[in-house]
Amino acid sequence: MFLSRLIYIFTIFIVEIVVAKNGSSQHFPENFLFGVSSSAYQIEGGWDSDGKGPSIWDEFTHLHPEKIVDRQNGDVGANSYEYYLDDVEAVKSLNMNFYRFSISWTRILPTGDLTQVNEKGIEYYNKIINKLIEYKIEPMVTMYHFDLPAHLQLLGGFANSAIVQYFEEYANLLFNRFGDRVKYWITINEAAEFCVKGYGGKIHAPGINAHGKGEYLCVHNALKSHAVAYHLYKREYYNQYKGQVGIALDSSFFYSDSNDTVVVNREMQFTLGWIAHPIFSSDGDYPAVMIDRIANHSKAEGRLVSRLPTFSNHWKRTIQGTSDFFGLNYYTSRYIRESLEPIGENPSVARDRGNERFTKPEWIKGASDWLYSVPKGLGDLLRWIKAEYNNPEVIITENGWSDDDRLEDDSRVTYFHDHLEQVLDVILNNGCNVKAFSVWSLVDNFEWSQGYTEKFGMFFVNMSSPRKERIPKKSAYFMEELIKKRSIPGI
């Protein structure tokens, strides 16, 4: 009897040690918010339903199915256009505080401009927003997540500064029709990503491939578009609606084996600083290292002006300070070293940066070629942002992991566990002002050039059934428990 009692106590003791090691007894601050993210083209389907106009992703996938590994597209996908209630129920089942989704520009403005306003499109988003509010889930709306109106691409899209005015008019319509209920706005998702892959490269829509020029023009106009939308809100809507407007930036953290801080700083500035410095730094404008290097390279190429466009003082001032929070999408990190040979295409942002990127053999790899789990990179990145931009309020707008098709998604659970540990650590031990964390993604969805071959969802979608049922994976239960306890469960 005594012996079995002793064994029992010893077992409990061991279990507690294990939980203390894996889980965390520390809690997220009371006002910390948890959410989950998605984007219109990746989940909605209904690509031409009820008056929606074509976006550049509709055209890209229809005209060039060979550019998508499984030759698929977002025509139907998870069909959130019909089954949005399933999405909202899924968000509710996890007790999430907010749902971040994006608005398809052409569902509302079929040609991208005010020629025609599609009330059916407005109605669709009203239904989502109203249901979220009914469930006490905060809607967080991304205004632009890669799906530019095809009609505006005819004018050059983000390579033409005319986009700034069209974006402002689109923003005005959204603030006007949804601003009474939407208090969190994200103007543009990952400008560097769609500009590098879609304007500098050809693997994302619109596939311009004007490397070394297109990506710089695109980011330039994206920054201006963001800034005018921000000012519009502050001028015309803030007093009445009291919402927040921000932008979502993607970045890795970069390490050097030889502790080469010059090279690390250059890589950080060319990646995150490219977009963040003009908005969040105390001096505004692009980072000096970008301005100097691209000017030098351009000169050596015989050009009269730099391939990096310049901001007038008016624009520097207009862009600076235009974000109520720092939206951060973090997935992975890299080691870097200065390249001894010219790297990347001639010219290109990769060549202008001049560094080689590599990974470590011990890093665990997801189903995406580029995705390695480096949780410490998130902690280091958040500390870097705190130091570089004077501790802004950060909303982690995306963090996620790809695998093949499985409900027992243990690798995703481990990924969230390890990354949230870093988030908790920087809040409690480094005083980083991180206010919220959002999972990418709610349901399995169209992963751009990878089609449906990589799964990022916490909910599996039965793609072969017309009803597209959503089924929670193990990671959904993990997040549900985490949110309930407000601390990280052991795994």
Give the angle 373-375-379 at the CA atoms, nearest 5°: 150
Phi, psi dihedrals of residue 260, rounded to the nearest 5°: -80, 90
Residue keyed to tokens 């985490």: 482
- By CB under 6 A, tell whether 113 contacts ligand BGC: no
- By CB under 6 A, tell whether 167 contacts ligand BGC: no
Looking at 267, 388, 398, 480, which residue is catalytic? 398
Region of 189-197, 229-237, 309-317, 483-491 interacting with ligand BGC (CB under 6 A): 189-197
Taking CA atoms, 425 is separated from 134, 169, 430, in Å, by 34, 41, 7
Nearest one of 269, 274, 189, 183 to 225, comparing CA atoms: 189
Shortest distance, position 272 Cβ to ligand BGC, whole Å: 14
Near ligand BGC by CB under 6 A: residue from 190, 267, 352, 388: 190
437: enclosing H helix or E strand: strand 434-440
Shortest distance, position 159 Cβ to ligand BGC, whole Å: 21
Q: CA 487 to CA 425: how far, in whole Å?
A: 12
Q: Is the peptide bond before 206 cis (omega within 30 degrees of 0)?
A: yes
Give the angle 201-285-320 at the CA atoms, nearest 5°: 110
Taking CA atoms, 130 is separated from 126, 142, 237, in Å, by 6, 17, 20
Near ligand BGC by CB under 6 A: residue from 385, 447, 458, 476: 447
Binding mask 228-267 for ligand BGC (x = CB under 6 A): ----------------------x-----------------
Q: CA 87 to CA 128: how far, in whole Å?
A: 9
Region of 187-195, 260-268, 290-298, 356-364 interacting with ligand BGC (CB under 6 A): 187-195
| 3-state secondary structure at position 434 | strand
Q: CA 406 to CA 448: how far, in whole Å?
A: 20
Residue 398 falls in the annotated catalytic set: yes
| # residues contacting ligand BGC (CB under 6 A) | 11
Region of 116-124, 186-194, 222-230, 282-290 interacting with ligand BGC (CB under 6 A): 186-194
Looking at 44, 138, 190, 480, which residue is catalytic? 190
> What one-letter code names the amino acid at 277?
H
> What one-letter code names the amino acid at 390?
N
- By CB under 6 A, tell whether 398 contacts ligand BGC: yes
Specify the residue, 110 or 366, whose C-beta has the smaller distance to ligand BGC: 366
Specify the residue, 147 or 480, whose C-beta has the smaller distance to ligand BGC: 147
Region of 185-193, 224-232, 379-387, 483-491 interacting with ligand BGC (CB under 6 A): 185-193
Q: CA 183 to CA 251: how far, in whole Å?
A: 25
- By CB under 6 A, tell whether 365 contacts ligand BGC: no
Near ligand BGC by CB under 6 A: residue from 28, 33, 35, 39: 39
Residues 306-345 that bind ligand BGC (CB under 6 A): 329
- By CB under 6 A, tell whether 189 contacts ligand BGC: yes
Contact (CB, 8 A) for 406 and 472: no
Shortest distance, position 113 Cβ to ligand BGC, whole Å: 25
For residue 340, give both structure tokens.
Answer: 């001894």
Residue 447 falls in the annotated catalytic set: no
Phi, psi dihedrals of residue 342, rounded to the nearest 5°: -60, 135
Residues involved in catalysis:
190, 398
Q: Contact residues for ligand BGC (CB under 6 A)?
A: 39, 42, 189-190, 193, 250, 329, 398, 440, 447, 456
